[in-house]
């Protein structure tokens, strides 16, 4: 596993993270690892759009649409 160092984090942000970690019953390190894992597991908008394109591509022709409309009208 790789170590990660983040420099120049403002003191007020560190204090906020320490408080949140304590409230969650975790060390700052464990809290930050969870935060990083959660962020890394969320897909980006581009990844979500690519997945949508892959999974929702309709293969319906204009003729299919017209036929379905005509069928619906005939059933009235």
Q: Would you list the domain boundaries of the chain?
A: 11-74
What local confidence, expressed as pLDDT, does residue 75 receive? 79
Question: 5-19: per-residue pLDDT in tens?
Answer: 999 999 999 999 999
Question: 19-61: per-residue pLDDT in tens?
Answer: 999 999 999 999 999 999 999 999 999 999 999 988 887 788 8
What local confidence, expressed as pLDDT, does residue 67 receive? 92
Q: Are 28 and 21 in contact (CB under 8 A)?
A: yes
Q: Is the pTM of this model over 0.75?
A: no
Buried b (16+ CB within 10 A) or exposed e, 52-70: eeeeeeeeeeeeeeeeeee
What local confidence, expressed as pLDDT, does residue 55 receive? 85
């Amino acid at each position: 596993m790789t170590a990660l160092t983040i420099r120049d984090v403002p003191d007020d942000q560190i204090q906020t993270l320490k408080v949140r970690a304590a409230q969650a019953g975790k060390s700052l390190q464990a809290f930050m690892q969870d935060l990083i894992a959660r962020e890394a597991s969320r897909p980006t908008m581009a990844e979500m759009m690519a997945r949508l394109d892959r999974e929702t591509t309709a293969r319906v022709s204009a003729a299919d649409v017209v036929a379905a409309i005509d069928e619906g009208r005939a059933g009235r």
